[in-house]
Amino acid sequence: GNSVTQMEGPVTLSEEAFLTINCTYTATGYPSLFWYVQYPGEGLQLLLKATKADDKGSNKGFEATYRKETTSFHLEKGSVQVSDSAVYFCALSRVGNEKLTFGTGTRLTIIP
Amino acid sequence: NAGVTQTPKFQVLKTGQSMTLQCAQDMNHEYMSWYRQDPGMGLRLIHYSVGAGITDQGEVPNGYNVSRSTTEDFPLRLLSAAPSQTSVYFCASSSGTQNYNSPLHFGNGTRLTVT
């Protein structure tokens, strides 16, 4: 079946540091890949997505590239801010955006 | 701009009690779903619906019932609560129909504790 593996947290960085959160997946065929973010006390929000190999999703300074050869979709940001503190979820879908398979989430804390 | 509204925000139940978690969306979305979020396990799909009158099971459906009598509402019922159902529950919706430009919209969650 489908599965998503993302790096264990928590991750703590200083403001303006470079961020990478690793995500790899297992799926048959060509899934769509997503990063969702969950701020404290809120539901998840779509951060970015990519629907085919070599696509790059980007939003709010975050980027992730769909790498079919390594089955990866790592999240990166060049300079993090305190407001980026949240839990980040990598996810995939085989059928549109509906039935998502999520990773376990990575808690990110940015200290000033 | 209500989006997806879940009630209640918090609930404590005793083992064996029943309750219904409410979910409503005002975006005329066809697709609605319920997830549970547990530490170290991410979100797991409980049940979903692709339109009024149609429901189906997700990854972890046991102990939960759903119905979809209207487009707007998708309640989740626990008939006999168990401690293993202690979790945070999220309702989500999208315009569906395999529309890659339609993300899932999540509610703010219901934190349920079963003692």
What is the model's pLDDT at position A99? 81
- pLDDT tens digits for A1-41? 889 999 888 999 999 999 999 999 999 888 889 999 999 88
- State residue B97's pLDDT score: 57
**B100 and chain A: CB distance < 8 Å anywhere?**
yes
Q: What is the residue-wise DSSP string for A18-65?
A: -EEE-EEEE-SS--EEEEEEE-TTS-EEEEEEE-STT-EEEETTEEEE
CB contact under 8 A, B40 and A97: no
Optimal mutation site among A3, A51, A59, A97, interface B, most CBs of chain B within 10 A:
A97
Which of A71-85, B62-76, B86-100 shows the lowest per-residue confidence on average (mean pLDDT)? B86-100
Cβ-nearest to A43 among B40, B58, B109:
B109
Segment B19-41 mean pLDDT: 94
Nearest to A89 among B42, B58, B102 (CB): B42
Distance (Å) from the C-alpha of residue B74 to the closest C-alpha of chain A?
Answer: 15
* Band of pLDDT at residue A95, cut at 50, 70 and 90: low
Task: Report pLDDT for B62.
Answer: 96
